Amino acid sequence: MPKAKISALGCYVPPRLLTNFDLEKMVDTSNEWILERTGIVERHIAAPDVATSDMAVEAARVALAQRGIEASDLDALLVCTVTPDMYFPSTACLVQHRLGAKKVWGFDLIAACSSFLYGMGVGAHLVMAGTHKKVLVIGADTMSRIIDYTDRSTCILFGDGAGAMLIEPSEDDNNGLIDFLYEIDGSGGDALKMPAGGSRMPPSHDTVEKKLHYVHQDGQAVFKYAVRKMYEACRELLARNNMSGKDIGCLICHQANRRIIQATADRLGMPPEKVIINIDRYGNTTSATLPLATRDAVTEGRLKKGDLVVYAAVGAGFTAGASLWRWAY
Ligand code: COA
């Protein structure tokens, strides 16, 4: 079975910033509270005419240019998102058309904040099956479209953005995906959801009036699950590969709350210089956090060729997991 490596990476965030000080003027909150409880300073917000596919296309173009290939060289295209442009056609179809990716097939993958982690795994397995040579996995979310900016408990958390990773066979058997551990637990479904708009509760005047098309969250329930699960997934994954945090060069977690990431890193025994945290600049961009954090890790020289990297995420559903890779470029 060929190994699957990440061979290129592209990201996009919209230019407009929403700072904690802006939020102070919108809801009853403070910069100090947000910073202390979440680690977030600012987030990027898409312009009204920008949708998820637009940001996905921008990120994809950067990744393709970095690798020096055309969209028509791709075999498959996955778009990880909870904020598709519309239910159907899939955002993958919209992105395929805009990119001119003539020979791909593809689909949208919905697993909330674990979407990109799962997408990386699916992309790698398409390559490892020997049936695909170039799979583009995109994580893109326009969270600002499903956030109630009068709800201080959620509106401070999220931002918009996109990232794309190209996954290809690795000529070097040591590089690429080593192992993964994914898990879903639907018993946590009520803790974080967008209640209306689907077949259970189709859109109506009533659902709009009750603000049921926005993110609803029991923050503490999600926090408790995330703190426990993020660590457990990493620990188990490392243990079954006879490793501990000390063997890992870089820990890249989903960026939902600085305290969740720090608790995970501390329990794994990983020093701050090996832990990538960029939530201060982007907030929680849902499907885009892992590529955005990877880009910053590479740019800052904290993730280098040959390093072992653990990716970890927890999200609505609940969805959770971790994967272990050796970085290939
Ligand atoms: N500004 C000021 N006060 C706020 C506030 C805000 N933006 N949001 C909530 N509060 C208040 C609450 O009303 C509460 O007040 P009370 O004690 O008078 O009732 C108090 O702050 C504490 O609220 P609590 O919800 O217990 O805070 P917390 O420490 O749990 O932090 C979150 C809230 C949302 C930051 C935290 O629970 C969290 O990060 N949860 C996980 C979120 C997540 O990961 N979501 C995405 C899934 S991937």
- Under the phi-then-psi rule, with left for phi > 0, alpha for psi from -120 to 50, and beta for the rest, what region is 286? left
Question: Of the residues 113, 155, 234, 250, which is catalytic?
Answer: 113
Nearest-angstrom CA–CA distance, 308 and 312? 13
**The two three-digit tokens of residue 225, written as one number:** 């699950």
Atom index in ligand 1 nearest the CA of residue 314 equals 48
Block residue for tokens 């000390």:
246
Is there a catalytic annotation at residue 278?
Answer: no
Residue of the CA atom closest to atom 31 of ligand 1? 37
Nearest-angstrom CA–CA distance, 90 and 76? 14
Q: Is the CB of 226 under 6 A from ligand 1?
A: yes
Q: Is the CB of 215 under 6 A from ligand 1?
A: no
Q: Is the CB of 153 under 6 A from ligand 1?
A: yes
**How far apart are the CA of 73 and the centre of ligand 1, in A?**
46
Sign of CA dihedral 303, 159, 47, 111: positive
Within 8 A by CB and 6+ apart from 324, the residues are 177, 178, 179, 180, 237, 238, 241, 243, 308, 309, 310
**How far apart are the CA of 315 and the centre of ligand 1, in A?**
16
Is there a catalytic annotation at residue 253?
Answer: no
Atom index in ligand 1 nearest the CA of residue 112 equals 48
Nearest-angstrom CA–CA distance, 126 and 247? 28
| pTM (two decimals) | 0.97
Is there a catalytic annotation at residue 113?
Answer: yes
Q: Are 94 and 198 in contact (CB under 8 A)?
A: no
Q: Is the CB of 199 under 6 A from ligand 1?
A: no
Calculate the alpha carbon distances from 60 to 12, 278, 281, 289, 291 in Å. Answer: 9, 21, 21, 15, 11
Measured N-to-C along each axis, helices 258-268 and 219-239 cross at an angle, to the nearest 10 degrees, of 30
Mean pLDDT by 10 residues, the chain (329 residues): 96 98 98 98 98 98 98 98 98 98 98 98 98 98 98 98 98 93 97 97 98 98 97 98 96 98 97 97 98 98 97 98 97
Nearest-angstrom CA–CA distance, 63 and 76? 14
